[in-house]
Amino acid sequence: MKIAILGFGREGLSAYKYWSSPENTITIHDNNSEIILPSGVDGILGADAFKNIDKYGYDLLVRSPGLRIESHSLKTPCTTPTNEFLKVCQAKVIGVTGTKGKGTTSTLISKILTQAGYKTHLLGNIGSPALDALPDISKDDIVVYEMSSFQLYDIKVSPHVAVCLMVSEDHLDWHNDLDEYQKSKRNIFKYQKSDDIAVYYSDNSTSVELAMDSRAKYKYSYGKDSDVTIVDGRIKAFGEDIISEKDILLPGEHNLQNISAAIAACHVFTKDIAAINEVLKTFKGLPYHIELVKEKDGIKYYNDSFSTNPSAAIAAIRSFDKPQVLFLGGYDRGSNFEELAQELKSCQIRTIICFGQSGPKIEAALIKAGLEDIEYVPGNDFNKIIQKGIGLALEGDCVVFSPACPSYDMFKDYIDRGNTFNDALGGISLE
């Protein structure tokens, strides 16, 4: 079979290894003309790598998740690593999507099931490429798969347990519009069967609406007055008392939502309250997710570089009841910052530093909302930007780096940005 791998990043390399066999002839297409190809493999590289793909006479195209290809306009059959994995994996798959909280929720699900005695595999955006893990997955294992809108965009198989967290505006630089973004999320439910399970966030109308497309007999909700809910400071699940909020290590209201979603997703596999408690009392969160990285002179410094959209920043600022020095800015993805501006009006804000490509746009939205103590720091001197903000922090404040934007205007990715923020603080030092 003649196969084209479209995009040769992490997922593209995984796809190449999966389809590489004597009976297949593989060609790599990538717009980066400087990538290093596997020995003996041909490549179509550069600016025209994805133009007129049908003309090459391939039997199959394999689209990497981050690459947008209008597969419906192609004559050549097109699949993705996600589609292939869901089609051939023998284990039960729990898929997790949403605008904010996918990584934390997926990790919680994996940890709870592992604590309850299952062998689990954490894959997708947060774990290993799914196809790489296939040889190690047996029928009785459980796969937890964090699924982005890019991966869901054209899937034809839905996971056994589909979890949809809060859905708000995001990735409008990739999707044509908000409707297309939501349709991509809908696919996590679209192909479910009656014996599958749908989990949705009852306080988010979009999550509710998308879940109604599922043919699953059992639909579990979390949120107010739901299957998993919070009553008088305690998490209740399916009529059982689980844990007090005070005993949970993860900070913030948004993490209570993530925890509730994880408990709902695990319900069909385990009802082990002791296992759930053990995880919730010990798991402190993922790196760059509202992570406390420094405490000095009565000031706490939080790294939330994973915050790549306004909803994430809103979740971060809601986590604190003390004055905040807040950093906002980055790559302009076309997001709307009005809701974030309104949220900030009800928070204790010492100052807001706007930076990066989207800095002027954010500054304008905040000023329009009537906020004060805002400063846009121009240029790409990241250390100067950070020092400007932390120099204004007082004892008892929280310095919160939650940019609400992607990092691509100044950094390779959110990890690079997060590490650079830590460096700008003079390293990590918890007193």
Is the same domain home to 336 and 407? yes
**How confident is the model at residue 427, as a pLDDT?**
64
133 and 233 share one domain: yes
Residue 361 lies in domain: 291-430
pTM for the model stands at: 0.83
Shared domain check, 144 and 21: no
Statement to judge: residues 340 and 220 lie in one domain: no
**Does one domain contain both 87 and 177?**
yes
The answer on 201 and 64 residing in a single domain is: no
Which residue, of 282, 310, 328, is where some domain finishes? 282
Tell me: do 338 and 379 sit in the same domain. yes
Residue 11's CATH number: 3.40.50.720
Does residue 92 sit in the same domain as residue 181?
yes
257 and 323 in a single domain? The answer is: no
**pLDDT for position 168:** 79
- Domain end point (choices 282, 316, 341): 282
Q: Which of 233, 249, 282 is the last residue of a domain?
A: 282
Q: What is the pLDDT along the chain (431 residues), one digit of tens a residue?
A: 999 999 998 899 999 999 999 999 999 999 999 999 999 999 999 999 999 999 999 999 999 887 877 766 789 999 999 999 999 999 999 999 998 889 999 999 999 999 999 999 999 878 789 999 999 999 999 999 999 888 888 889 999 999 999 987 555 565 566 778 888 899 999 999 999 999 999 999 999 999 999 999 999 999 999 999 999 999 999 999 999 999 999 988 889 999 999 999 999 999 999 999 999 999 988 899 999 999 999 999 999 999 998 988 998 998 898 999 999 999 998 899 999 999 999 999 999 999 999 999 999 999 999 999 999 999 999 999 999 999 999 999 999 999 999 999 999 999 999 999 999 998 655 55
Which of 216, 217, 242 minimizes the C-alpha distance to 228?
A: 242
Q: Of 85, 90, 65, 74, give the one whose Cα is nearest residue 19.
A: 85
Residues 341 and 271 in one domain: no
Instruction: Tell me how far the alpha carbon of residue 163 is from its chain's centroid.
Output: 13
Q: Are 97 and 164 in contact (CB under 8 A)?
A: yes
Q: pLDDT value at position 389?
A: 95
- CATH code for the domain of 167: 3.40.1190.10
pLDDT at position 172 is: 55
pLDDT for 15: 96
Q: Supply the pLDDT for residue 156.
A: 93
Identity of residue 72: H
Number of domains in the chain: 3
Q: What is the CATH number of the domain that holds 322?
A: 3.90.190.20
Same domain, 295 and 275: no
* Bridge partner list, 230: 235
**Residue 139 and residue 269 share a domain:** yes
Chain mean position to CA 386: 25
